[in-house]
Amino acid sequence: MKVVITGGAGFIGLRLGAELLQRGSLTAPNGAQEAIDSLLLFDVNAPAVRPDWADERVVFQTGDISDAATVSALIDRDDISVFHLASVVSGGGERDFDLAMRVNLHGGLNVFEACRARAGLPRVVFASSIAVFGGASMPGVVGDTVKQTPQTTYGITKSICELLVNDYSRKGFFDGRSARLPTVIVRPGKPNQAASSFVSGLFREPLNGEVCSIPVAPETPMPLLGYRSIVGGFIALHEAEGAALGDDRAVSLPSFTVTVAEMIEALKRVAGERPLGEIVFERDPFIEEICAGWPKDAAHDRATALGLPKDASLDAIVEDYIEDYL
């Protein structure tokens, strides 16, 4: 079978690709575990260097997800699964509404229509976000049945795509699942346009001996998950029985809710004798306002019942990062 990952050259897309190759198979549209003979990683840019795990099964392709013909050409077999990760991120979407609509809404529609056009019933895993929650009526803990009143264009487009995944699945156009991601840590490399980008920076920059600037208050709580569990969650959600998902195919992934101050404590605990770059607080109203609108805590009983993984602890996530990247 073939697997397509949109946003495949991003941090999570690449890790998901590597994990899928190592695993070797997925549940195909015919219901059987089938070997992955083709892995297509689609993104707006190719990775700077071809990863060493990318064997002859792997193709990197660049293009514009808002072009229907481009997307249709990617999804060209009936024995296929799609992980749809391509997205303008939260801060980027607030800065450029039209780009967020083009990539997140119309790009999503292109992916969903291309999957619908296949003869099989492809499994489609859509990367949503807990940024679908927000607004004055949001409770302290958001569960899967809480109303979505997002306060960013990013969240709006994710919420819309969750609705579309539900309806395309109900209509039998494909077998869709949406995974709502909390803030993912620890992203290596450079900061990105996500309003939550500083959370990875909080661990990454000090461990690299660099100064890190935090744009929010130390008591700000954020639901987090490590990248290993994010990737594991995508695959477990792909493999889950459709019937177990019922008529609402979206689940919030497990997460830890910790404050910025608690993140710094964990960093210091795990770093031990390592020298750390300085952490300074320089509040940024643009970032603060976006983060203040997000949920403080996300329930994940449904995800847990489906067998989606959760890291052992915040400390374990930081240890994984040190093992994988330092």
Quote the least distance from Cβ 171 to a copy of itself, whole Å: 6
Task: Based on the shown chain and the rule CB under 8 A, indicate whether residue 292 belongs to the binding site for a copy of itself.
Answer: no
Q: Report the relative pairing of strands 250-252 and 175-181 from DSSP bridges.
A: parallel
Report 97-126 residues binding a copy of itself (CB under 8 A): 97
Please tell me the count of residues contacting a copy of itself according to CB under 8 A.
24
Task: Based on the shown chain and the rule CB under 8 A, indicate whether residue 312 belongs to the binding site for a copy of itself.
Answer: no
Q: Which residues contact 19 (CB under 8 A, 6 or more apart)?
A: 231, 232, 235
- Residue 168 corresponds to which amino acid? Y
Task: Based on the shown chain and the rule CB under 8 A, indicate whether residue 246 belongs to the binding site for a copy of itself.
Answer: yes
Q: Report the relative pairing of strands 256-259 and 221-226 from DSSP bridges.
A: antiparallel
Whether 290 and 195 have beta carbons less than 8 Å apart is answered as yes
Quote the least distance from Cβ 6 to a copy of itself, whole Å: 21
SS3 49: coil
Among 21, 68, 117, 146, binds a copy of itself (CB under 8 A): 146
Question: By C-beta, is 163 or 211 nearer to a copy of itself?
Answer: 163
Measure the CA–CA gap between 46 and 54, rounded to whole angstroms: 13
Quote the least distance from Cβ 132 to a copy of itself, whole Å: 10
Task: Based on the shown chain and the rule CB under 8 A, indicate whether residue 148 belongs to the binding site for a copy of itself.
Answer: yes
- How many residues appear in the chain? 326
Q: Which among 129-137, 231-239, 270-278, 310-318 is the span making contact with a copy of itself, rule CB under 8 A?
A: 129-137
Which one from 154, 168, 227, 321 is the annotated catalytic residue? 154
Q: Which among 70-78, 161-169, 206-214, 315-323 is the span making contact with a copy of itself, rule CB under 8 A?
A: 161-169
Task: Based on the shown chain and the rule CB under 8 A, indicate whether residue 166 belongs to the binding site for a copy of itself.
Answer: yes
Please, which residues bridge with residue 267 across strands?
Answer: none
Alpha helices in 87-134, H assignment, sequence order: 90-95, 97-100, 107-116
Cis peptide before 186 (omega within 30 of 0): yes
Q: Which among 10-18, 49-57, 70-78, 156-164 is the span making contact with a copy of itself, rule CB under 8 A?
A: 156-164
Q: Which among 21-29, 41-49, 135-143, 269-277 is the span making contact with a copy of itself, rule CB under 8 A?
A: 135-143
Measure the CA–CA gap between 209 and 277, rounded to whole angstroms: 4
Task: Based on the shown chain and the rule CB under 8 A, indicate whether residue 91 belongs to the binding site for a copy of itself.
Answer: no
Among 55, 56, 119, 145, binds a copy of itself (CB under 8 A): 145
Q: Which among 150-158, 174-182, 225-233, 258-266 is the span making contact with a copy of itself, rule CB under 8 A?
A: 150-158
Going across the sheet that includes 80-84, the strands are 58-62, 38-43, 2-6, 80-84, 123-129, 175-181, 250-252
Helix axes 107-116, 153-170, angle to 10 degrees: 10
Q: Which residues contact 190 (CB under 8 A, 6 or more apart)?
A: none
Active site residue 227: no
Task: Based on the shown chain and the rule CB under 8 A, indicate whether residue 147 belongs to the binding site for a copy of itself.
Answer: yes
| Residues tagged active-site | 154
Q: Contact positions toward a copy of itself, by CB under 8 A? A: 97, 135-137, 145-151, 153, 156, 159-160, 163-164, 166-167, 170-171, 246-248
